[in-house]
Structure 1
């Protein structure tokens, strides 16, 4: 696996033609994993690497989302894992969902501490509009700024603090015909 710079446009690939979630997690963390002699990262079960450390998660269900409000939950599916240091470092992000609440949007994921139980979720990051777009977003796609939550700090074993900026989250809940 080669080392590459983070993508400037996580939606600039063939996945942009279908609904999903595109996310580079944290580029400095990905670079760190890639430089380790035993560092590995991979995706599966609905997640694929889109290039340059960005991952694409397939849309699972957007029926609980009202884009006119916006309120509700947009569910994506996929499994992303990072490991290294002879197994001492292990980060797993499974089935990210964007939950739009009256208090703001959050990115949640399956609680890895309770794996393989997928019923319990944690708040991984807070999301807010305003992430800078490096280019024009495809129709139907939005980009949100992502900041680590207290539970997200635990996912990364306390290496990053609460509020630490993650890579922007690009997402699409549906594509209109012709878009």
Structure 2
């Protein structure tokens, strides 16, 4: 998905929302007047976290109180419409000493794993987020934490190692107004002792049996100008700009070398606020008498992620069946003339990034 295409899509969404107008905030009031605060607990939800040392994969239960459901009505016009409370972000991260949006700190001062940032918002406000012409409620529900009428919430955060950590950053759990709303009263920080070395709950890195970067600049465009993220799960992972998948099974005829190599895992690529979200899952290498193809389950539209997938041919590979061969490096390939979702159609007929795979 090119930056120009996504910027055009964001502009279209914004105009559609503004043209609809008529959105009016209807959120419950705080049960009592109190300052916003958060408390941290271990994964059991009862033991105070205190100075416990955490590792990647550990979990923190965060409980908040005093978060006004009617606050934060400014900010971006998408995905929450103007005038509707935008809610509050809560995340584990490594933030610079001067990180607060109300003091003009840039986003680079706040390092967090985008996929793990949670969005605290009242259900009343969420219900005012439009579902057409784009389902913007879905973009919030992926990370939604309900905010009660009395200003309280409870959620569980998985600890992950952020990238591009700012100088002198401190690890902790942070809250701040969502979607570029500004509210210094909700800019909170609770320090956490973090050790980035693997611990007992750290997910094991899956083997990189198939490695592919899709196309030149694919991941860097998503994580750069589109302000999104590329994540892997269930056997898939991201390593620098490459996507990797674990071998699931191999069904190869030893006499001809023809057959199918099946890999497992799901890659999710999404733009800021998940306004664009596409998935690529369970790729196969299919050696046939007519050619070799890469197929995979891909999203049926640019905004559904894993909600709706369909297997398609993605690319034809410059590789022939070869009995006894079990490893291929830097295989050249060409994208198919017809791709889905629409954003991938930008690559149709072009050279892909090289593939390496084994079984």
TM-score, normalised on structure 1? 0.70
Deviations 1:58-94 (A, max 9, x none): 11010x2125422111100010111115433222110
The structure with the largest strand share of the pair is 1
Distance 1:126 1:155, change over 3 A: farther
Distance 1:68 1:31, change over 3 A: farther
Q: Secondary structure at the match of 2:339?
A: helix
Whether 1:36 and 2:225 are equivalent positions in the alignment is yes
Aligned to 1:24: 213
Aligned to 2:141: none
Greater shift, 72-81 or 120-129, is seen at 120-129
Q: 1:57 aligns with which of 245, 249, 253?
A: 245
**In 2: Cα distance, 1:141 partner to 1:48 partner:** 20
* Count of residues in correspondence between the two structures: 147
Aligned to 1:92: 279
Q: Report how far residue 98 of structure 1 moved.
A: 0.5
Runs of 4+ off more than 3 Å: 114-118
Aligned to 1:70: 257
Report 1 or 2 for greater relative contact order, CA contacts < 8 Å, sequence distance ≥ 6.
1
**In 1: Cα distance, 2:208 partner to 2:231 partner:** 21
Aligned to 1:124: 314
**In 1: Cα distance, 2:266 partner to 2:208 partner:** 17
Deviations 1:115-174 (A, max 9, x none): 5576x41101111139xxxxxxxx9420321211134364534322x321111111102x
Distance 1:37 1:154, change over 3 A: closer
TM-score, normalised on structure 2? 0.37
Q: Report how far residue 25 of structure 1 moved.
A: 1.3
CA RMSD, 1 decimal: 2.7
Q: Structure 1: state its 5+ residue gaps.
A: 3-14, 131-138, 174-179
Q: Report how far residue 113 of structure 1 moved.
A: 2.0
Q: 1:79 aligns with which of 266, 273, 284?
A: 266
Greater shift, 88-97 or 19-28, is seen at 19-28
**In 2: Cα distance, 1:56 partner to 1:159 partner:** 22
Q: Report how far residue 19 of structure 1 moved.
A: 7.3
1:108 and 1:124 in contact (8 A); partners too: yes
Distance 1:67 1:82, change over 3 A: farther
**In 1: Cα distance, 2:220 partner to 2:264 partner:** 24
Q: Secondary structure at the match of 1:156?
A: helix
Q: Report how far residue 110 of structure 1 moved.
A: 1.2
Distance 1:157 1:47, change over 3 A: closer
Deviations 1:30-79 (A, max 9, x none): 11112136311100100122x221122111010x2125422111100010
1:151-170 aligned within 5 A? 151-152=338-339, 154=341, 156-160=343-347, 162-170=348-356
Distance 1:22 1:33, change over 3 A: same
